[in-house]
Amino acid sequence: MRKYISFPKVEGETSRQAHADLPAGTYERELGKEGFFGPATHMYHRHPPTGWTSWEGPLRPRAFDLVKLPAGDDTSPWSAAEILGNAAVKMRYWRLPAGMRDLARNGDGDELLFVHEGEGDLYCDYGHLAITGGDYLMLPRGTMWRIDCTQPMTILMIEATGSSDRLPDKGLVGTHAIFDPAILDTPAIDAAFRDQQAGDRQWKVRVKRRGAVSTVTYPFNPLDAVGWTGDLAPVRLNVKDIRPLMSHRFHLPPSAHTTFLADRFVVCTFTPRPFETDPGAIKVPFFHNNDDYDEVIFYHAGDFFSRDNIHPGMVTFHPCGFTHGPHPKALQSMLTPKKPGTDEYAVMIDARDALDIAPAASGVEFAAYADSWKTKE
């Protein structure tokens, strides 16, 4: 258990409630540890903390347009372009125009697939699951699997290198909030699964371990289970089945939207929700230094109300160590939004350790992103 030097303190002009009733003409900034769970201070500034005029050096906020990444002709997930990663998490963007030729198995960690576009069928050790846009598909490390596409698919892959994906503790709001665990689907040994077992042909399994791929060849289809029992299996969760936490009087931090977590990162999902209605409560993400985490957001669908120049299929990267927050257009409606709610779907990956940008991402960078907080003259 970590111990912090703790001294609740009020200095100068402040609000007594974070994210609400700000002193007139001020902009609130949260300086916080442990990804919104640790000690924090709220500071009230005369200027928006993102009002910079220029950025130099490697810390700048980045954005990448993954739509511009070419589809490869290899159907293996291990050929997908790595975007961002470190020793504990790897993010890849995989464009799969047709079904996988071979089976895949990740020996490096649990794999969380987020289906951005398309639809198809997962066949794995445990059976069959239909998959479509907005699905998370958690594949435990070591699972053998393949996907058949009925529509070309684009998938964000999030590998928990050396660890396991888990569900967050729901704490005060209880087990059934955000999504009921009963809504998690597991693969079925159904007619489609039995049909794909028919006929003998040679099957290859592409096994990834320590980043290197080995190939195991069988003279039969190894997805030949007739049954299974246990508490380990892939699970499917669609973003439309998430019922986001919100308060009409308080803008909840991103951590309220935690969907999965592993040892050194968390995955949060932003889904449509009404804006706060209390007149004094801010309605946009507050300015913050999330000083222990690098933040990545993948934009899936909808209108990204706090970001200009961002479209589905883009990724933003905010390395820890600087303040970020809403773009000027959203900031104008901090207290009085122009619509009743947000209709965005986005996946956030917060990493406890510094992330490296892979060459594929650098090649599709939206270089002017750091300037997008500048107020248009």
The residue among 165 and 295 lying less far from Fe ion, judged by its C-beta, is 295
- Strand ranges in 212-326 using DSSP code E only, listed in sequence order: 212-218, 235-238, 258-262, 265-270, 273-274, 287-290, 294-301, 314-318
Pick the closer one to Fe ion by CB: 207 or 268.
268
For the CB of residue 320, give the shortest distance to Fe ion in the complex, in Å.
Answer: 9
Dihedral (CA of 248, 250, 254, 258) sign: negative
Kindly identify the residues of this chain, within the stretch 99-118, that bind Fe ion according to CB under 5 A. Answer: none
Of 265, 274, 271, 312, which is closest to residue 293 (Cα–Cα)?
265
Task: State the minimum distance, in angstroms, from the CB of residue 284 to Fe ion.
Answer: 12
3-state SS assignment for residue 341: strand
Name the residue nearer to Fe ion (CB basis): 290 or 372.
290
Q: Per DSSP, what are the bridge partners of residue 89?
A: 160
Amino acid at 197: Q
Taking the least distance from each CB to Fe ion, the nearer of 78 and 322 is 322
Give the shortest CB-324-to-Fe ion separation in angstroms. Answer: 6
Buried b (16+ CB within 10 A) or exposed e, 79-92: ebbbbbbbebbbbb
Nearest residue to Fe ion on Cβ basis: 295
Judged by beta carbon, residue 82 or residue 295, the one nearer Fe ion is 295
Q: Kindly give, in sequence order, each residue whose CB lies less than 8 Å from that of residue 16, ignoring residues fewer than 6 positions away.
A: none
Dihedral angle computed from the Cα positions of residues 231, 235, 241 and 244, in that order, rounded to the nearest 10 degrees = 70
How far is CA 94 from its chain centroid?
Answer: 15
Q: Nearest distance from residue 168's CB to Fe ion, in Å? A: 18
- Helix%, strand%, coil% for the chain, nearest 5: 10, 40, 50
Indicate the residue among 271 and 316 with the shorter CB distance to Fe ion.
316
> Segment 248-307, which members bind Fe ion (CB under 5 A)?
290, 295
Q: How many residues bind Fe ion (CB under 5 A)?
A: 2
For residue 30, state whether it binds Fe ion (rule: CB under 5 A). Answer: no
Min. distance of Cβ 210 from Fe ion in angstroms?
Answer: 32
State which residue, 117 or 295, has the beta carbon closest to Fe ion: 295
Residue 238 to residue 41: CA distance in whole angstroms: 35
Query: Least distance in Å: CB of 295 to Fe ion?
Result: 5
- The least CB distance from residue 32 to Fe ion, in Å, is 10
Residues found near Fe ion in the complex (CB under 5 A):
290, 295
